[in-house]
Amino acid sequence: SYGMPVENAVKFASMNPAQVMKYSRQGALIPGFDADVVVFDKYCNVLATIIKGSIKKNIL
């Protein structure tokens, strides 16, 4: 742990910037929203990347 729960870190890195930039359909994994997703392991290695619904990297 680095002093912040993972849930808070994700919110600060996604939802808050989207709201500041007034992106109404981004920033959260909610049906109808646009989303690019990156899956990390506990060491911050990228395991999967999904961009515009297309899997770009997947080592799961």
Each residue's pLDDT tens digit, 6-48:
888 888 888 888 888 998 888 888 898 888 899 989 898 999 9
Q: Is residue 1 part of a domain?
A: no
Tokens read off for 26: 């981004």
- Specify the pTM: 0.62
In a domain? residue 24: yes
Tally of domains in the chain: 1
How many Å apart are CA 33 and CA 23, to the nearest integer? Answer: 10
Sort residue 53 into left (φ over 0), alpha (ψ -120 to 50) or beta.
Answer: left
Domain containing 33: what range? 6-58
Name the band, by pLDDT with cuts 50, 70 and 90, for residue 1.
Answer: low
- Is 46 among the domain residues? yes
